[in-house]
Chains A and B, each alone.
Chain A
Amino acid sequence: MNRPVAEIGQVTATKQISSGLWDIEVYSPKIAVQTRAGQFAHVRINDSFNPFLRRPLSIGPIQDGKLRLIFAIRGEGTRLLSQKKPGDAIDLIGPLGGVFEIPDDDSALVFLTGGIGVVPLLLLDDQLPKRRERVFILGVRSVDSIPVTLDEAEKRHIRWSSDDGSVGFHGNSVQLLENVLNGLGSRKARVIGCGPGKMLAGMKRLCQEMKIPASASLEVPMGCGVGACQSCAVPRTDGKGYLLVCKDGPIFDCNDVVIEPEVLP
């Protein structure tokens, strides 16, 4: 496995995609060259220690040494991050965590994403061989809270679902997943999810019922990001303690960890 590096990146572009959702591009060639889909960068907001902790952000598409980081403003840290301007320095540690392990078989891949959970799957979409069949689902509350532009979604053949019906399928993304899986008939499928705990819990239940292998990329409050502090624990399903999102994850087989909204924010 790669050893993470520390790098002072440089913001090269920032863009507000929709209400409270930002897409920033950071030139960070040492991290970019090593990153594989599923990994994250631990991002320092500023050098004031207020807010204190780094923010773990999934690494999105990479081009010419530049990482795309897409995030939602959830508090003071992400608000300050959204105010970065092109030319600003940004302190990153990465790439951290494991990668999406995709078996080289003939199964159809289904990406189930919600909100900014789309980010690591955008990179997987880029890094998978073109010929590999995939269905890419992105659930949002409404067209006002999209994490990627409608243009980009169209280029990637992303299928939207929205709670209010303002874009794509009217309903939640797990219902759309069920339709997609039923549509595959007897084809072998494999589901990869990233998004809110409620969505991932629904995905796990559905895939267990349909006996379809599923993995999930998880996000929880995190401290050091390298396995030392053990803050980012998720319970194992076998009752034998916990696994760490930063080191054992962030991608887990759904059968291995408890995936419930109470555990995942």
Chain B
Amino acid sequence: MNLDLTVRMGGLDFRTPLLTGSGTFGYGDEFLNLIDYKALGGLVTKSISVRNRPGNPPPRICETPGGGVINSIGLANPGVDAFIESKSAILPLNLTRVFLSVFGETVEEFVTVVEKLETISGVDGYELNLSCPNVKSGGISLGGDSAAVGEIVRETRAVTQKFIAVKLTPHQTQVAILAEAAVKAGADALTMTNTLVGMMVDAETRKPLLGTVTGGYSGPPLKPVALAKVWQAAKAVDAPIWASGGIVNGIDCIEFLLAGATGLQLGSVLFADPYAPARIISEMEAYCVRHGVNRLADLVGALQ
């Protein structure tokens, strides 16, 4: 059997539904000889902001019992101008589709960054990060407000014809309201979801395990939360959903497809297993053989 892995979203064809999650894959060059790009439909870069952001004080990462991880990187990036000058040339544009993650503290900052990034040719689109838990302004505070979400997407849409995905927070219980606001304003896809705010304490030293005390909780324990958000968003809007949260194997991917996702983001799993994309493709293929599925896209939203 020849399984059809392709998916079509927002007018773009993807050879597989797998994407990398923002912040876990740098700008695509670091893993160059460790990863099989053929397994990836696309990559999402680390977020790019108007100005250089040095990032948060360390420690920036810790594990949690039950196989989770909490990070507090703080959107470290060189800023859009330095990115265009020093990093844009390393983007693996000929290997896979590339989406630039964009972060702003205000509507104007989102628009400015996207306008500048429009000068890079060969990029497929953007993912607007409206949900970072590790910054003081912007991030969750902006992304939890449906009026702000709508305005950011609308203003960004006005300066680009390219694909726009919007990454939403898991902290808003009214998923449908945010999802509808983003799609109505012109989003091509919604990423469900960013990390949850979490913290860890060392009882012996009586100190937090992260320099910023709280951080973004990810990994397999997040999967049930992300599944619920994907399912709720998929019911609310017609736009494709990019699932993000706790995917480590092919069965996780199948579950997210059934819940309504069309794209599947691999995030922290890449830290543990950089070869995850190729492994996950073969695990999905094995599932499809067992279930007589010829076209992976047929599983999207097929929850019974």
Instruction: Give min CB distance, A216 to chain B, whole Å.
Output: 16
Given contacts A226-B34, A229-B23, A229-B24, contact A52 B60 (CB under 8 A): no
Residues 209 to 259 of chain B near chain A (Cβ within 8 Å): 219-220, 248
Q: How far is the CB of A51 from chain B (nearest CB, A)?
A: 6
In the complex with contacts A229-B73, A233-B55, A221-B60 CB distance below 8 A: yes
If over half of A's interface residues share one DSSP class (helix, strand or loop), that class is named, otherwise mixed; here it is loop
Query: Which residues from A are CB-within-8-Å of B25?
Result: 228
Which residues in window 225-251 of A have CB below 8 A to B? 225-235, 240-242
CA distance A259 to B210 in the complex (A): 18
CB of B71 within 8 A of CB of A231, answer: yes
Which residue of B32, B46, B68, B275 contacts A52 across the interface (Cβ within 8 Å)?
B68
**Is A6 an interface residue, CB under 8 A from the partner?**
yes
Instruction: Find the A residue at minimum CB distance from B27.
Output: A228
Taking a contact as CB atoms closer than 8 A, the residue among A4, A5, A51, A220 that contacts B59 in the complex is: A220
Chain B, range 244-292, C-beta contacts under 8 Å to A:
248, 268-275
Distance from B3 Cβ to chain A, minimum over Cβ atoms (Å) = 24
Contact A221 B272 (CB under 8 A): no
Partner of B274, one of A6, A49, A221: A6
Q: Give the contacting residue for B55; candidates A51, A77, A220, A230; CB below 8 A.
A: A230
Kindly list chain B residues whose C-beta atoms are within 8 Å of the C-beta of A189.
none
Determine the chain B residues whose CB is within 8 A of the CB of A242 once the complex forms. Answer: 54-55, 58, 76
Interface size on B, residues (CB 8 A): 38
**Closest approach, in angstroms, between the C-beta of B213 and any C-beta of chain A?**
14
Given A54-B271, A221-B60, A226-B30, A49–B73 Cβ distance below 8 Å? no
Task: Enumerate chain A residues within 8 angstroms of B60, measured Cβ to Cβ.
Answer: 221, 230-233
Q: Verify A226–B31 contact, CB threshold 8 A.
A: yes
Kindly provide the distance from the CB of B47 to the nearest chain A CB, expressed in whole angstroms.
11
A window 1-34: CB within 8 A of B: 3-6
Task: Tell me the bound Cα distance from A240 to B68 in angstroms.
Answer: 31
Whether A231 contacts B67 by the Cβ 8 Å rule is no
CB proximity of A259 to chain B, nearest CB, Å = 13
- Asked, given contacts A49-B248, A229-B24, whether A263 binds B58 with beta carbons under 8 Å apart, the answer is yes
Closest residue of chain B to A54, judged by CB? Answer: B272
Give Cα A3–Cα B106 distance, bound, in whole angstroms.
Answer: 40
Q: Which of A188-231 contact B (CB under 8 A)?
A: 220-231
Residue of B at shortest CB range from A222?
B61
Chain B residues with CB below 8 A from A81, complex form: none
Cβ–Cβ contact B63 & A51, under 8 A: yes
In the assembly, what is the distance between CA of A224 and CA of B76, in Å? 15
Minimal beta-carbon separation of B29 from chain A (angstroms): 9
Q: Is A93 an interface residue (CB 8 A)?
A: yes
Minimum CB–CB distance for B222 against chain A, Å: 11
| Shortest distance between the CB of A257 and any CB in chain B (Å) | 11
* Cβ contacts under 8 Å, A51 to chain B: 63, 67
Bound complex: CA A265 to CA B34 (Å):
29
In the complex, A53 has a CB within 8 A of chain B: yes
One digit per residue, 1 when the CB lies within 8 angstroms of any chain A CB and 0 when it does not, for chain B 45-84 equals 0100000101101111111001111010100100000000
B61 near A50 with CB under 8 A, answer: no
Is B26 an interface residue, CB under 8 A from the partner? yes
Give the chain B neighbours of A231 by CB distance below 8 A. 60-61, 71, 73
Contact B273 A44 (CB under 8 A): yes
- Give the residues in chain B near A53, CB-CB below 8 Å: 61, 63, 69, 271-272
> Is A48 on the interface with B (CB-CB < 8 A)?
yes
A52 contacts B55, C-beta separation under 8 Å: no
- Point out the residues of chain A lying under 8 angstroms from B248, CB to CB: 49
CA distance A53 to B64 in the complex (A): 10
Contact A49 B30 (CB under 8 A): no
Tell me whether B58 and A220 are in contact (CB under 8 A): yes
- Cβ-closest chain B residue relative to A226: B30
Chain A contacts for B273, CB-based, 8 A: 44, 47
Question: Is B33 interfacial (CB-CB < 8 Å)?
Answer: yes
What are 16 A-B interface contacts by the 8 Å CB criterion?
A5-B33, A44-B272, A52-B69, A221-B58, A223-B61, A224-B24, A224-B271, A227-B26, A228-B31, A228-B46, A228-B270, A229-B24, A229-B26, A229-B71, A263-B58, A265-B59
